[in-house]
Amino acid sequence: MQVDMIEPAVVGTRNVLNACSKAKAKRVVVVSSIAAVMNNPNWPKDHTMDEECWSDRDFCKTTKKYYSLAKTIAESEAFEYAKRGELNIVTVCPSNVIGTMLQPTINSSSLLLLSMLKDGHESLENKNRHLVDVRDVAEAIMLVFEKPEAKGRYICTSYAMKVQVFVNKLKGMYPNYNHTKSFTKVEDSGKLSSEKLQDLGWKYRPLEESIVDSVTNYQERGFLLKE
């Protein structure tokens, strides 16, 4: 797993930053993930997770959350690079991304919504899900790139809800799809805040718009049958 996931993330980040330095770039926006934020058992449970919260590397190793570990190390590497004075680096940490796709194949984040519409799960863990539209992520990236006052990390998430609440919303909008039948209770994950990004001027679109545009896009590309 070290070779398959962690090394490509870290070495890839370093190579891109080296190329940016050679090109005399003034600012670089690194897209990280809330995976580099949320996996921290030492963060107070009653405190909303903000940009000061980093996923704990030892915890990620112990729980085999290698994607989170890779994202955490890669983002840290970017800031260490910035400390050497070679680049002005800002990071954006999106949550689970939904919305229309440009690529011809399904990406892992789109599978969340697609699976809830077509797989008819007997049961799912009723965990919190944090969602953001891909177009809002793109606008966040441009915002932190263009705003000279943008510094450090920016969590980028729009909505948080339990899986059951999300499925019920999908049922109300698309009643004829194959929805999850039951839900099991699990411990709540932490709350996230995009207040820092919103203070910079970021806005996000309604969840219903993201869902409708996603479903229409999946249907047009043949990933989802029309009702």
CA atoms within 13 A of residue 172's CA, in its CB half-sphere: 8
Check 61, 71, 169, 203 and give the catalytic one: 71
Contact 110, 104 (CB under 8 A): no
Dist. CA 224–CA 68, nearest whole Å: 29
Place of tokens 């450090």: 152
Contact 155, 37 (CB under 8 A): yes
Dist. CA 106–CA 108, nearest whole Å: 7
> Which residues, listed in sequence order, are joined to residue 98 by a DSSP beta bridge?
133
Three-state DSSP state, 150:
coil
Dist. CA 15–CA 7, nearest whole Å: 12
Opening angle at CA 103, ends 18 and 6, nearest 5: 40
| Element containing residue 77 per DSSP (H, E) | helix 66-83
For residue 29, the one-letter residue type is: V
196 is catalytic: no
For the chain, how big is the Rg over CA atoms in Å? 18
* Active-site amino acid positions: 71
